[in-house]
Amino acid sequence: MLRVTSLAAYYGELRAIYDISFELQRGDVLAIIGANGAGKSTLLRSLVGLMNHGSSTRMRGVVEFDGHRLDKLAPDRIVDVGVALVPEGRRLFARLSVEDNLLAGAYLARCRPAIAALLEEVYALFPRLRERRRQVVSQMSGGEQQMVAIGRALMSSPKLIIFDELSLGLSPAMVDDIYRNFTKIVESGTTTIVVEQDLKRALKSCTRFIVMLEGSIVLEGRPGEVTEEQITAAYFGTTVAVRVPGAAHG
Amino acid sequence: MADTDLYWIGIDLANGILSAAMLGGYYALISVGLALSFGVMRLVNLSHGDWLIVAAYLCVTLLAAVPVVPFWSLLVVVPLMYGIGYSVQRFLLNHVSVQAAERRGMSPVFGLMLPLLVTFGLSIVLSQGMLLIFSSDAATIKNDLSFSAIRLSEDLSVSTLRLGFFVAAAVLLGGLTLWMRSTHIGRAIRAASDDPEIAALMGMRTPHIYAVASGVALASASVAGFMVGMSRSFQPFDGPPFLLMAFGVVILGGLGSLAGSFVGGILLGIVQVLAGTYFGPAAQQVSGYLLILLVLAVRPQGLFSR
């Protein structure tokens, strides 16, 4: 469904990620683990087309998704072929109401006929948003804003949904709440990529993971295939990087 | 005797406020395009005033060719100006915008200067172009309303033309607000003005959305230009004073706020007319600028900006 081959991305002359290759099948949940500056967000930005537009950033490599070359498409086309991003820091349209933010997520012509049903699905997932649908989002708590950000991404009925720092800056109770809904989204069969700082939670909720260090993948596999110590070592780069290809090791 | 004095003081005040509110509608009409450009694209369009005059000339030219009631010329000029606004934004201003400069990794200062210089250049090209085509003779949109007034009571009346400005401003601003709130494209314009990068991730083509916003800005400027042409004579170089007027209103109301333009326009009108009535014509202009200074000092983001 998604195949990334030899992906590299640059900010000016600075190479932020390189030699990134991985594949995802339909229904996979991929957790991307890594310290700050490891290149996780740059990888996600590359997938949604934000690194190959403008002269200060550029990318190389191939990103294929459902027969489309994402590396050749602009961000507004990438969402149209079914990839949605829940960005780090939520990045909501601050002056718009909850409902307007959600409706903005369904801007694409293919979403408009189903707009009422999509809105209803999001409100069923996050009933609190229905109560607050007229509220301007800048006046809401971080957790509620995260719900709006997730809802907004779901409004484009994506086949692949990408969460950048799903639980960053949220209270523990809110994180539990968000993850309950995350599980529901995953169970609906949507292919998912999630960047998460909380290692345990990331491993618990994914079917595959990659660990990034200094711009490249140093470890990949499925939860249970490698020990938590190995992952921690790869995370901090304290041992020689071991690349576990696919599902080879237990 | 005292009662009669009081009556006339009241009538003076009522006439003043009434005509000021109507003048405010005129100011609001002039500034709405500028507010929209700034609010959506962060574009300070220095050619705004010249576009008003372009629209006024288009009306005059059209009415000379097809002598109908002046109002009908808007049916052609408004869509035409929308098309011009769309094209200018799409093919020129999008390439020199703050956002384009950011994409190219230029410094924010340069990013702000670039559109200023380009729209300043556009202003010169427009005014010189009009001089070339229409010469420097004063033009006007001939109409029957200029000298007519509606009597509200024996001593209270309002200029029909100014009432027209007020109604046009209210309808235009109300319509625009409704359009921005309830349509997909309006919502996209608000979203793109908030965060263009994320708007693109929602499938919004920001170059197209900015072009639509610019088209609407010039379409509303054409209504303002028509009103200017109805109420006075104009020449190719008359644009810049309207830009200044619009700047004042937009600063008062809050950069980018449509409701702010309306309230800012009316406030400016009321202060100017009352100052003119009680302290003489010289005070009229000064009071407007004093009001702008006062708002800048106390609430620099303007009355309606969040």
**In this complex, is the C-beta atom of A112 within 8 Å of any C-beta atom belonging to chain B?**
yes
Element (H, E) at B297: helix B281-298
Q: Write the pLDDT tens digit of every residue in A83-128.
A: 999 999 899 999 899 999 999 999 999 999 999 999 999 999 999 9
Contact A96 B198 (CB under 8 A): no
Q: Tell me the backbone φ, ψ of residue B262, rounded to 5 degrees.
A: -65, -50
* Residue reference for tokens 């706020």: B257
pLDDT digits (tens, 9 = 90+) for B91-145: 999 988 877 877 777 777 777 788 899 999 999 999 999 999 999 999 999 887 7
Q: pLDDT digit string (tens) for B212-257? A: 999 999 999 999 999 999 988 999 999 999 999 998 999 898 877 8
Sort out which chain B residues have CB atoms less than 8 A from A55's CB and list them: 103-105
**A42 and chain B: CB distance < 8 Å anywhere?**
no
pLDDT at B18: 85
Residues from chain A that touch B199, judged by Cβ atoms under 8 A, are: 93, 104
Beta-carbon neighbour count of residue A171 at 10 Å? 12
By the CB < 8 Å criterion, does A139 face chain B? no
Q: Which of B243, A24, B300 is nearest to A32 (CA)?
A: A24
β-sheet bridge partners, residue A220: A210
Which of B181, B184, B201 lies nearest to residue A79, judging by beta carbons?
A: B201
With an 8 Å Cβ cutoff, is A86 touching chain B? no
Residue B160's pLDDT is what? Answer: 85
- Write out chain A residues lying below 8 Å of B204, CB-based: 76, 104, 107
Q: Dihedrals φ, ψ of B12, to 5°?
A: -60, -45
Q: Which of B181, B195, B203 sits opposite A107 (nearest CB)?
A: B203
Mean pLDDT of B66-89: 95
Residue type, A102: L
Min Cα separation B295/chain A (Å) = 23
Between CA B211 and CA B202 the distance in angstroms is 18
CB contact under 8 A, A50 and B197: yes
ipTM here: 0.88
